[in-house]
Structure 1
Amino acid sequence: MTAAFTEALLGARRPVIMELKRQDAAGRDLFGGRSVEDVVTAYEDAGAPCLSVVTGRWFGGTRALLHQVARSTELPLLQKDFITHRSQVEQSREDGASAVLLTAALLPKSTLGSLIEHAVQLGLTPFVEVTTEAETLRVPRARDCVIAVNNKDITTRERGPAHLGRSTDLLPSLRRTGTPCPVSASGIEHPDGAARLLREGFAGVLVGTGLLRAESLSRWIDDFDREHQDLPRPLERPQKSQ
């Protein structure tokens, strides 16, 4: 089973999940006077297959931001927040999300499994974030999930440097789970880095600060296209076992 968010990413010519967040981990403004509608329109014009919306308070987010984005676009939306209860999954769907972030490092295995099950029942894509092989291997129903490597450290509120090598190291583990959509997320600033991760075998990348701080979004996309143009699309998906 794949939901709208996964389908959009797997079928995209530019498999970049473009993110809206109001501020970076240090509290610096990222919108620069732009409205939510301005950013959404720019991302749509850039060919985003789906959007990520950060509602977590670390990054100045609120549920109101998700409401605004949902009113401004028909693209599938990922809500990024610390979701720990089934009621939050239900609220996410009501607020317009197509996918929900579930952070494996914060959730006991039983809770993670329950939230994944509930999200799938509601038609949402579980977007499960991992940082270690052990976390990766305890994701249930991986074929129904996007599994994303977080290249930053949440224990420091993502204020430290990114380690893109973590994604490279964990990709074989992600593939073994059977997820149709391995993703590298966070700390991807430059188009060549994004394209390299796709070349290594990721089905998508999530980019936020790098796009919001880019002097020219269209130039970032043009550079990405030059690096990415030789990659085959769409990604061949794992076959379901009988």
Structure 2
Amino acid sequence: MTGAFVEALLDARRPVIMELKRRDAAGQDLFGDRSVARLVADYQDAGAPCLSVVTGHWFGGTPELLHEVVAATELPVLQKDFITRRSQLHQARESGAAAVLLTAALLPRATLGRLVDLALRLGLTPFVEVATEEEVRRVPRAEECVVAVNNKDITTRERGAGDLGRSSSLLPAVLAGGTRCPVSAGAIGHPDEAARLLAEGFAGVLVGTGLLRAAGLPEWLDGLDARLDARRGTRLDARRGTRLDARRGTRPDPGPDPDREPAPPVRRPADPPTTDTWR
């Protein structure tokens, strides 16, 4: 099973990890009258490449929630919880998870290395969550992991709006670490935010509260598609312009050079008198 989660995300037309989370950081219910089976079916119908299930008690999660989701789908499933022990990895595999959350901020370097190694031996994809460059540097075997930037602060139990700028600023370091699958996770509420992060170079985004609170899941995802198509069209037009300039033997006009002195005015001879009324 190792790699199933990563490959599903990398091959997806719409690389959104759709999350099931019972409560938000303030304790407010997110499921409403929707059953787990209905939410899973809605996500599958929307083309989710993979799912995330929050089993941590902060957000009303339980191990049973993971069992329910796995029983209702064949999609790869990420278990999101504060995993710190080897026994939790064995339990995740037995429950049918394809990937497990490992939070770099909670794990010393040696412990993180041991858990990543064991997860891979068990066929689980390590979904390593980072929030600083130092944490990015501590991710072992990054080429076999999902490396996810958490846009929220776990020291405040992820209360608050979060900071999407963290993803943008950490992406170069994450890519330099060698992962094939950088992900931006948390605080993504609007389709435009998801589209921007994907356009910046993230292989996927993880969205939970934003989808569960959306007035309509298809409308949210249609909005994402429209924004992605617009960005792709802009890039395609730019590439076409560059190719056309190359065929003409010219380069795009870079505009005036602010450091170059202006040329002196050209003096032209006076025009001869004329009686042409169309002049």
Q: How does 1:90-169 map to 2 (within 5 A)?
A: 90-169=90-169
User: What is the DSSP-based 3-state SS (H/G/I as helix, E as strand, rest coil) of the residue aligned with 2:147?
Assistant: strand
Matching residue's letter, 1:185: A
Larger radius of gyration: 2
The equivalent residue for 1:236 is: none
Q: Per chain length, whose mean CA-contact separation is higher, i.e. which structure has more relative contact order (CA < 8 Å, sep 6+)?
A: 1
The equivalent residue for 1:240 is: none
The equivalent residue for 1:239 is: none
The CA distance in 2 between the partners of 1:27 and 1:161, in whole Å, is 15
The CA distance in 1 between the partners of 2:39 and 2:146, in whole Å, is 24
Q: Does 1:57 align with 2:57?
A: yes
Gaps of at least 5 residues in structure 2 are 234-279
User: What is the DSSP-based 3-state SS (H/G/I as helix, E as strand, rest coil) of the residue aligned with 2:126?
Assistant: strand
Q: Give 1:199 deviation, angstroms.
A: 0.2
Q: Greater CA deviation, 223-232 or 186-195? A: 223-232
Residue identity over aligned pairs, in percent, reads 69
Q: Give 1:172 deviation, angstroms.
A: 0.3
Q: How does 1:1-242 map to 2 (within 5 A)?
A: 3-229=3-229, 231=232
CA separation of 1:169 and 1:2: change in aligned 2, threshold 3 A: farther
Output the TM-score relative to the length of structure 2: 0.82
Cα deviations by residue, 1:149-174 (Å, 9 ceiling, x for unpaired): 00000000001221000000000000
Q: Give 1:228 deviation, angstroms.
A: 1.5
Superposed CA RMSD in Å reads 1.2
Is the 2:77–2:99 contact (alpha carbons within 8 Å) kept by the matching residues of 1? yes
The CA distance in 2 between the partners of 1:82 and 1:138, in whole Å, is 18
The CA distance in 1 between the partners of 2:96 and 2:5, in whole Å, is 12
Output the TM-score relative to the length of structure 1: 0.94
Is the 2:55–2:79 contact (alpha carbons within 8 Å) kept by the matching residues of 1? yes
In the comparison of the two structures, how many residue pairs are matched? 232
Gaps of at least 5 residues in structure 1 are 233-242
